Structure 1
Amino acid sequence: MTKATYRLLPALLLAAFFLTGLLASPAGAHPVSTSAVLLDIGEDRGDGEVQLPLDRLSIAVGRDLTGARVLGADRAFMKSYTAQHISAVGKDGEPWTVSLGTGTVRSVDSTPHLVYPLEIRPPDGEVTAFDLRYDVIVEELLTHKVIVTVRYDFDRGILKTDDAETLGIFDHAAKTLTVPADEGSWLRGFATTAGLGIEHIGEGADHLLFLLMLLIPAPLVATGGSWRAAASRRRAIMRVVHVVSAFAVGHSLTLALAATGVIDLPARPVETLIALSIAVSAIHAIRPLVAHGEVVIATGFGLIHGLAFASLITDLGLDRGSLLTTLLGFNLGIELTQLLVVALLMPSLLVLARTRFYPALRITVAVVGLLFSSSWMLERAALTSIDPFEGVQAWLVGHPLWVAVTVAGLAAAAHGSTTRTPRTAPER
């Protein structure tokens, strides 16, 4: 070779290296298939599932496996093989019963997996910490990984997908993992469910709007088909207490009945009725439908809102733990959020209700509530596919303090620039 060639050799090697990397990148971009063990910790047993990628499973058992084969000709073999490589032992050394349900084939991360429901039962019926032993596939495939995740554990506050906790990884070197099922307490689970109640109401534009529509006329009294300022602040406050209490009684009753399975209604009609409840309460805020109507509306439609709360408990799987503790915690979160809304808004509304500006404010807010609820009704009844006010609703729900400060500012301005409305003067 010439000296020029030697000088070019490093550059040629570097170019070849990058070219090889580029050509190989499409294959390397796909992650190696992994297995998963998903656990749900209950009071008397552990449930969950095992997810086994068919491509890795084929190598481990030395068979050309397809979805049809693992559910057909190789069905019994695959279940027996998997069961032989999973066991559980309590901290006292006693073996626990491990059983697999009927296998299915499901796509996980775009890769077909053989999925088995998993059940782990302690001999004394009380779940405590235990050692999970697992070497499906990893006994033969040195590079294979198995991710172990706890999806649900009430006492540790793991109640939904966002809370899921990765316990560790099984591989060829680590085939035993301790599951800390005796950590935490009912108090931690109670606090977590209360937090979910707060989160649900805090993010639920429809529930918040219904409460607001009830609160707007609460400082007033209905006389002769129109609204008038209450005779005293004390009377106005008592009406607010009655409205909030009526709503709490209504939704608490159906929340308990629906969560325990006594009543069960489809979600779509329930959500549509919730939108209707907002429309009715908005109309009542504009012109009273009946004396003390907001209390009647709060109680009656509160029953419907309770069904929606119960549906959320079922959707999140919160009924897998202590149902009584879940109901109490979730309901406490709802009530705390409602009381916070009342505390933020009612002082301002009580001041505004005794000014000449309140009729205009009350009617404006009620009309906005009527527009929002009508849009929700159409969408939830599948008559329209979009909600044109969704962006505004999301902003309002996401900025509750701005709303409260704005109302407080209006109250301060109105109180400082006008005399109190005479008690005998009707609101238009």
Structure 2
Amino acid sequence: MRHVMRRLLPVLLLAVLMLAGGPVPSAGAHPMATSAVLLSIGDDRVEGEVQLPLDRLAIAVHRDLTPESVVGADRTFLHAYAAAHISAADATDHHPWSVTLGTGTTRTIDGTAHLVYPISIRPPAGRSVTDFDLRYDVIVEELLTHRVIVTVASKTLGVFDWDTKSLKVPVDRESWLSGFVAAARLGIEHVGTGADHLLFLLMLLIPAPLLAAGGRWRAAESRSARRTLVRVVHVVSAFALGHSLTLALAATGVVDLPTRPVETAIALSIAVSAAHALRPLVARGEVVIAVGFGLVHGLAFASALGELGLERGSLVTTLLGFNLGIEVTQLLVVALLMPSLLVLSRTAAYPAFRIGTAAVGLLFSTSWMLERATLTTTDPFEGVQTWLVGHPLLVALSVATLAAGARLLLYESAAAPGRAGSARRER
């Protein structure tokens, strides 16, 4: 019975997680096709533009949208929808300001079709522009995972999301620290809501407590916790090195690749790392995979900062903050999962857990590759992925529970011979 339970526990855990994810509305494997609000402050008005990705907008308004329909049959409806979800008021006396949206046009931004509105924000007649509160919930009022980047004078101000729908816009720009904090937060959310980036990291962590020998994964010695920690540090550092390099090159315009091939390559990176978790591809393969495909992931990270027109000084600050947010999120993932994986790896349940989790990773990544290569139109596992990303603590707790249960079974098995011997002596 103990042998059967060791084999079934990982399978039951994965089944529960997948069934629980079924009814949740899909948000995409990589849900940050971000919106953007770009503002420039003048003496008597604030002008700029609002950029709305059509795929996210279509989900928010529950309509099928095309570049043709948003400036044709759906033009009036979308203009009214956007205008109803943007407002401004004086930061001191809360007197409302006028917000006017111009005629919408379509534009391809970072490979994604967007509806773009010119925006003009004005204080009451006779008053000059002062600090004001901007309220904005276009798309984010419907999509939990959506983010809206706000810049003022080509400097990052903040991010609108499900929890933050109002920002104070200062006339006199705050210190570089505000832009740095906003960029760090964006980096945290970009990885924290991106199922593909998280799954890639998980696939790299699964074989970390093991040793490759004879083309197979073998359990490591119980004294090798330090070796495992060093190996995890190498993996995370390699990934950080790879994505930091291409993030900087792409954000500064040195490297410019279309979004679809990059996203397809990210899905491929997960498939390769999942295959490596099933069976070692090369010695220290997870480090090689991390640095190699980290270069590809950096291009995707850069897409979150694209088309914002950041000035050089602001770009440096934003890159540093965004990168810090990415690293913080990666370290949190490691801290949440690695202790449980280390305990679980020293039990008989780990081979089934490793194979089952890697198989799910391979399944998800294959589905993403087909969709991103336009070979399929939908991803049947989006609901599952969205649920898993939306409940990180529950996932970590499930793995910890599995590790504790497998460890308990191991102790009971080890104690059983001793108890049996005592019983024979008593007889």
Q: TM-score, normalised by structure 1?
A: 0.61
Deviation by residue 1:347-399 (Cα, 9 ceiling, x = unmatched)? 00011111111111000000000000000000000000110101110110000
In 2, Cα distance between the equivalents of 1:212 and 1:379?
A: 22
> CA contact under 8 A between 1:246 and 1:295: conserved in structure 2?
yes
1:318–1:401 Cα change, 3 Å = farther
Partner of 2:294: 302
CA contact (8 A) 2:40 2:48 kept: no
Contact 1:251 1:303 in 2 (8 A): yes
Describe the superposition over 1:45-89 as per-residue Cα deviations: whole angstroms up to 9, x where unpaired. Answer: x983499xxxxxxxxxxxxxxxxxxxxxxxxxxxxxxxxxxxxxx
- Correspondence 1:106 to 2:103: yes
Kept after mapping to 2: 8 A contact 1:355/1:420: no
Q: 2:328 aligns with which of 336, 346, 351?
A: 336
Give the % identical residues: 65
Q: How does 1:242-257 map to 2 (within 5 A)?
A: 242-257=234-249
**Displacement after TM superposition at 1:317 (Å):** 5.6
- Say yes or no: does 1:239 pair with 2:236: no
Residue 160 of structure 1 deviates from its aligned partner by 4.7
Higher relative contact order (CA 8 A, sep 6+): 2
Q: Which residue of 2 aligns with 1:191?
A: 181
The CA deviation at 1:223 is: 0.8
Which of 264, 278, 296 is the equivalent residue of 1:272? 264
C-alpha distance in 1, partners of 2:226/2:265? 33
Deviation of 1:312 (Å): 0.8
Q: Distance in 1 between matches of 2:171 and 2:350?
A: 56
1:194: Cα distance to partner? 0.4
Alpha-carbon contact 2:159-2:182 (below 8 Å) kept: no
Residue in 2 aligned with 1:158? 157
Tell me whether 1:407 sits opposite 2:406 in the alignment: no
Judge conservation of contact 2:269–2:293 (CA < 8 Å) in 1: yes
What is the TM-score when the length of structure 2 is the normalising length?
0.61
In 1: Cα distance, 2:296 partner to 2:307 partner: 17
**Cα distance between partner residues in 2 of 1:219 and 1:374:** 26
Specify whether residues 133 and 378 from structure 1 end up closer, same or farther in structure 2 by C-alpha distance, changes over 3 A only.
Answer: closer
Question: Could you tell which deviates more after superposition, 312-321 or 386-395?
Answer: 312-321
Paired AA for residue 193 in structure 1: A
Query: Helix, strand or coil: the match of 1:181?
Result: coil
Take 2:49 and 2:360, find their aligned partners in 1: how far apart are those partners? 50
Paired residues of 2:246 and 2:298 also in contact (CA < 8 A): yes
Residue 148 of structure 1: CA displacement?
A: 9.6
Contact 1:351 1:411 in 2 (8 A): yes
The match for 1:94 is none
- How far apart are residue 414 of structure 1 and its match? 1.1
Alignment correspondent of 1:349: 341
TM-superposed CA distance for 1:217, in Å, is 0.4
Deviations 1:138-166 (A, max 9, x none): xxxxxxxxx99695238996345657868
Cα drift, residue 271 of structure 1: 0.1
- Distance of 1:248 and 1:116 partners within structure 2: 37
2:250 pairs with one of 258, 282, 285 = 258
Aligned residue number for residue 373 of structure 1: 365
Q: Distance in 1 between matches of 2:368 and 2:188?
A: 22
**Which runs of structure 2 are paired with 1:27-426 in the superposition (5 Å)?**
40-41=39-40, 48-49=47-48, 106-107=103-104, 151-153=150-152, 158-160=157-159, 180-231=170-221, 232-315=224-307, 322-418=314-410
Residues 299 and 186 from structure 1, CA distance in 2 versus in 1: closer, same or farther, beyond 3 angstroms?
same
1:290–1:47 Cα change, 3 Å = farther
User: C-alpha separation between the residues in 1 aligned to 2:263 and 2:361?
Assistant: 16
1:201/1:337 contact within 8 Å kept? yes
> What is the alpha-carbon distance in structure 1 between the residues aligned to residue 38 and residue 250 of structure 2?
26
The one-character-per-residue Cα deviations of 1:84-128 (angstroms, maximum 9, x if unpaired) are xxxxxxxxxxxxxxxxxxxx97259xxxxxx8799xxxxxxxxxx
1:189-214 CA-to-partner distances (Å, cap 9, x unmatched) read 11111011111111000000000000
Deviation at 1:263, TM superposition (A): 0.4
Give the number of equivalent residue pairs.
Answer: 291
Structure 2 counterpart SS, 1:158: strand
Alpha-carbon distance change, 419 to 227 in structure 1, aligned in 2, over 3 angstroms: farther
Q: Distance in 1 between matches of 2:361 and 2:277?
A: 10
Contact 2:188 2:329 in 1 (8 A): yes
- Asked if the contact 2:210/2:217 (under 8 Å) is kept, the reply is yes
Q: Secondary structure at the match of 2:267?
A: helix
- Residues of 2 paired with 1:337 and 1:39: CA distance? 27
1:419 positional shift: 5.7
Distance 1:320 1:412, change over 3 A: same
Contact 1:159 1:316 in 2 (8 A): no
The answer to whether the Cα contact below 8 Å between 2:184 and 2:322 also exists between their aligned partners in 1 is: yes
Where in structure 2 are the equivalents of 1:14-29 lying within 5 Å?
none
Aligned partners of 2:38, 2:248: CA distance in 1, in Å?
27
CA–CA separation in structure 2 for the residues paired with 1:204 and 1:191: 20
Q: Where does structure 2 lack aligned partners over 5 or more consecutive residues?
A: 1-36, 51-100, 106-116, 127-131, 136-149, 414-427
| Offset at residue 230 of structure 1 (A) | 2.6
CA RMSD of aligned residues (A): 3.5
| Uncovered stretches (5+) of structure 1, i.e. residues with no partner | 1-37, 52-103, 109-114, 119-131, 137-146, 168-178, 422-428
Verify the 8 A CA contact 2:219 2:346 in the aligned structure 1.
yes
